[in-house]
Amino acid sequence: MSCRLSVGLVLSCCFVLSPAYAQDRAAWNAPQTPFRIFGNTYYVGPHGLSSILIKTSQGLLLIDGDLPESASRIEANVRTLGFRVSDIRWILNSHAHIDHAGGIAELQRASGAQVLAREAGAHAMERGGVDPEDPQYGLSPAYTPVHNIRIVRDGETLHLGDMDITAHATPGHTPGSTSWTWRSCEGNTCLNIVYADSLTAISAPAFRYADDTKHPHRVEDFRRAIATVAELPCDILLTPHPDASDFWERVQRRNAGKHPNPLIDTGACRAYAATAEKNLDERLKKERTSP
């Protein structure tokens, strides 16, 4: 999970079962009219949680299923765009927290789609998000486990009809965190689209990134993940929480007719990574100065 911190919640990423968490959860799942982002790529999630639909010559591909209560909203949005839920062939995941994977079991049941994830992410989804390896272990509510998951490797390119999409290991926020890249075209214009997973160093209160003796390379791996995102070919940046990449502000400017297209920003991935690097440094500094 990746989100803004609510007032009074420290390093919990809103997973504390409190009135603030309930309000955030409702806001994440607020209705959102689906729309085309670019080419064959569409936004079908609720307002506060991204779910991305990609049309291919052999069916549909969906990235992230959001909260358990988001599944019906995603299905309705797919139908609103004129597509059939039964045509969803693949469901991919960014990371296995409830706000990005909680709806996948229902979407898999409704569509018959193949779910794909890296091994660590698949392991967490099979446990309903209850993963002792997760820095937020003990904070994230469980959800319906996901089964029959196909494992993908770091750097593996998947082929669905005329669509190629590549998995990039970006662990840190969770062990299985994965970013996805593909190209979408409108006429003769083709752009690189990045669905960059959360890069926030948020954890349970007792967890320390720098002192994780069981995983001595966790910080090194996190920095490598941030560097990976910074180096991706990136014309349009999408993130699991839209507000993490100023998505709605950019969509609003595009809808107002601003030119050039405000969604297109070749520096967006580098800026997203730079913010993550700064936040990780701040987190590690706090760990060094606190008992």
**Amino acid 170: pLDDT:** 98
Question: What is the spatial distance between Cα 96 and Cα 90, in angstroms, rounded to a whole number?
Answer: 16
- β-bridge partners, 56: 59
Q: What is the pLDDT of residues 206-257, one digit of tens each?
A: 999 987 788 889 999 999 999 999 999 999 999 999 999 999 999 999 999 9
DSSP secondary structure of 211-253? T-TTSTTHHHHHHHHHHHHHHS--SEEE-SSGGGGTHHHHHHH
pLDDT band at 183 (very low <50, low <70, confident <90, very high): very high
The domain covering 31-289 belongs, at the CATH homologous superfamily level, to Ribonuclease Z/Hydroxyacylglutathione hydrolase-like (3.60.15.10)
- Smallest CA-to-CA distance from 116 within 147, 90, 155, 154 is with 90
Q: What is the pLDDT of residues 65-124, one digit of tens each?
A: 999 999 999 999 999 999 999 999 999 999 999 999 999 999 999 999 999 999 999 999
**Amino acid 260: pLDDT:** 94
β pairing state of 52-56 and 149-151: unpaired
Q: What is the pLDDT of residues 14-39, one digit of tens each?
A: 344 557 778 889 999 999 999 999 99
Detail the DSSP E strand segments found in the chain.
35-38, 41-43, 52-56, 59-63, 88-92, 114-117, 149-151, 157-160, 163-169, 178-186, 189-195, 236-238
Question: Average pLDDT, stretch 32-52?
Answer: 98
Distances (CA, A) of 252 to 116, 230, 244, 256: 32, 25, 15, 6
**Taking the complete model, does pTM exceed 0.85, yes or no?**
yes
Question: Average pLDDT, stretch 260-284?
Answer: 97
**Amino acid 139: pLDDT:** 87
CB 35 within 8 A of CB 43: yes
The residue behind tokens 């797919």 is: 78
Compute the mean pLDDT over every residue in the chain, rounded to the nearest whole number: 92
**Amino acid 220: pLDDT:** 96
Distances (CA, A) of 233 to 64, 124, 173, 228, 252: 21, 29, 22, 10, 24
For the chain, give every domain's residue range. Answer: 31-289
